[in-house]
Amino acid sequence: MPEKKKDFFDQVMDYISEFERRFDETFYSIIRPLRVSRPSWDPNRCCLVPLVEVQENPEELIVTADLPYVDKENIDIKATETSLDIDAKMRNAVRFERWGTVQREVSFNCYHKSIKLPSRVDPEKAKAEFRGGILSISLPKKVSKQKIKIT
Amino acid sequence: MESKDSVEIVEITPIEVRKLNFLIGLPDIGLVGMISASHLVESLDMKVVGYLESDLFPPVIVLHGSKIYHPFRIYQKDNILLFLSEIPVPPLAVNAISRAITKWLKEKNPSLVIPLGGIPVPNRMAIEEPDVYTVATNDTANKLIDTFSLQRLEEGIMAGPYASILMDCTKLDIPCLALLAQSFPNYPDPGAAASVIKVINKILKMNIDIGALMKNAEEIRVKSRDLMQRTSDQLETMGKSQEYDLPAMYS
């Protein structure tokens, strides 16, 4: 079916939506490198940076980390009111035979991640669980909100 | 090539298949599509028969055994074709890829198109064996849901490459059945990929072993960390977080 000829208004709307799409793409390409630290490995310490997510709700922060090749006993978590450090030893080293840019064998045997928390937490009330290689840490917020009565 | 914003499907050898089943494994939620598609390529010993080309794609090549490959490739084994990508789909190319593939597929008259993917669930840690939900584009695909007693995705919002493909298949009346396993949103999820393969086994009457996939699950998770991170970044720009939203419209 021949395409219906677009009127002037449709053309303008097309230009605007195309501009918005291009702007979003450019904007995200600029902010992305600032948000994600790269590279995600440290060959000198033989450590990988694990994938981590931080979710925030009114009462607590929930931090999860993907830690394959790790057993519960080999995880070390340290928290302050504003930061969280996760260190974990792998049960076997992970070998990459031809590691990307250097094309040599590299192996990793641990994970390390330091996280600056988006809210102040009470580290003494933190709880952690580890299931299926996923670590989940619940960090209650330091200042709980005061309930305000409506008079 | 038609224009710099179009996507062309290049057949290395002419692809003439009857009763074609076309599987799609793109990096998406939990890399479920990419992990399950890679496992199928290996298990079925599929061969590269084509690739996608466009100026919308980043200048990226993939090296395997010193041989150069396109990142967006089409594999074949008998009447099964599989579209696999090793890099995230660039947001600006999503609609063009979807239009090109569905237009090409319409000419091939496929029996079924099966996008393989994940659906984000917040309690994935507590789920031992992820369920697979389906989305069908026409009566032919819908009948399969009933025949194999599959679960329908009843309400919700989908965003990203599979949303475009499902919409275009609907427009062109191409039988398409998306298989979406409950998955970690931002962690590679071989367990979800195994659930998807079990359903493929039922629908296509195959017997793909998931043993090797589960045995290598930890290695897959470690080695696909960076692709997962890049994919999550790209999906964010496509409004993927809307999939967590409650549907706002009544039908």
Mean pLDDT of A114-118: 94
Cis amide leading into A39 (omega within 30): yes
Q: Are A66 and A19 part of one and the same domain? A: no
DSSP 8-state assignment for residue B187: S
State the pLDDT at residue A28. 47
Q: Is the pLDDT of residue B145 over 70?
A: yes
Q: Are A60 and A94 part of one and the same domain? A: yes
Tens of pLDDT, residue by residue over A69-113, are 999 999 999 999 999 999 999 998 888 776 555 556 778 899 999
Q: How far is B236 from chain A (nearest CA, A)?
A: 9
Q: Are A90 and A72 part of one and the same domain? A: yes
Is residue B10 very low, low, confident or very high in pLDDT (cuts 50, 70, 90)? very high
Of B92, B233, B237, the CB nearest to A36: B233
Contacts of A30 in chain B (CB under 8 A): none
pTM: 0.83
* A25 touching B (Cβ < 8 Å): yes
Q: Are A58 and A121 part of one and the same domain? A: yes
Q: Are A109 and A54 part of one and the same domain? A: yes
Contact flag B225-A94 (C-beta cutoff 8 Å): no
Mean pLDDT of chain B: 90
State the pLDDT at residue A100. 59
Judged on CB neighbours under 10 Å (0-12, 13-18, 19+), B227 is middle
Mean pLDDT of B164-178: 96
Nearest to B156 by CA among B249, B231, B94, B91: B249
Could you tell me if the ipTM is greater than 0.90?
no
Task: State percent of chain B over pLDDT 90.
Answer: 70
Contact flag B233-A132 (C-beta cutoff 8 Å): no
Is residue B100 very low, low, confident or very high in pLDDT (cuts 50, 70, 90)? very high
Q: How many other C-beta atoms can be found within 10 angstroms of the C-beta atom of residue A9? A: 8
Contact flag B226-A40 (C-beta cutoff 8 Å): yes
- Yes or no: say if A121 and A139 are a contact pair by the CB < 8 Å rule: yes
Contacts of B236 in chain A (CB under 8 A): 28
* A28 touching B (Cβ < 8 Å): yes
Q: Out of A9-23, B1-15, B51-65, pick the least confident.
A: A9-23
Q: Which domain holds residue A13?
A: 1-37
Query: For residue A148, is it within any domain?
Result: no
Q: Are A30 and A61 part of one and the same domain? A: no
State the pLDDT at residue B7. 92
CATH (domain of A127): 2.60.40.790
Mean pLDDT of chain A: 80
Look at chain A and report how many structural domains it folds into. Answer: 2
Which residue segments constitute the domains of chain B, with CATH numbers given?
A: 8-238 (3.40.50.10900)
State the pLDDT at residue B241. 61
Judged on CB neighbours under 10 Å (0-12, 13-18, 19+), A7 is exposed
Contact flag A32-B233 (C-beta cutoff 8 Å): yes
Query: For residue A133, is it within any domain?
Result: yes
Contacts of B221 in chain A (CB under 8 A): 66, 68, 133
State the pLDDT at residue A95. 82
Q: What distance in Å separates the CA atoms of residue A53 and residue A63, rounded to the nearest whole number?
A: 6
Which string of DSSP letters, residue by residue, matches B46-86?
A: -EEEEEEE-TTS-S--EEETTEEE-SEEEEEETTEEEEEES
* A68 touching B (Cβ < 8 Å): yes
Mean pLDDT of B107-123: 94
Judged on CB neighbours under 10 Å (0-12, 13-18, 19+), A148 is exposed
